[in-house]
Structure 1
Amino acid sequence: MSNTTTGMLGGVALGFAAAFGGFTAFLLVGVLGTLGYLLGRWADGDIGPSDFLRRGGQR
């Protein structure tokens, strides 16, 4: 299992542990799952901070 998958599953697990019930919990699990996925991709070396910090005119 890659770090990406582990991070995503960890984020989902934290979301379920943090909140039970309703639409708010659904959103929280989605946000934490996405955060875990991105942190896992970063740990795998697939993405870095510069991927998110580009200026509009540069490519």
Structure 2
Amino acid sequence: MTSSATRTGILIGAVLALTWVIVGFWAFFFVAIAMAVGAVIGRIVEGKLDVSALVGAFGGKRSSS
């Protein structure tokens, strides 16, 4: 039996591939971006992603001394 993460990865790949085949590249691109944004929001809600560290990383601040 495969792991849950493997199954999730397969499902995500299938959704993206079908999107590309059925409606084209730009729809695929939009779906991929929307999925990434959803994943980040999910991590924030679960408390697994520190927003202040993320903002600091994009702002060019170093996380270590």
Q: TM-score, normalised by structure 2?
A: 0.53
Indicate the structure (1 or 2) with the bigger Cα radius of gyration. Answer: 2
Aligned to 2:24: 22
- Alignment root-mean-square deviation, CA: 2.6
Q: Indicate the structure whose relative CO is greater, using CA pairs within 8 Å and at least 6 residues apart.
A: 1
Q: List runs of 5+ in structure 2 lacking aligned partners.
A: 1-7
Deviations 1:15-35, CA, capped at 9 Å, x for gaps: x7xxx7110000000000000
- What does 1:27-46 correspond to in 2, within 5 Å? 27-46=29-48
Deviation above 2 Å: which 4+ runs of structure 1? none
| Aligned residue-pair number | 43
Give the letter aligned to residue 32 of structure 1.
Answer: A
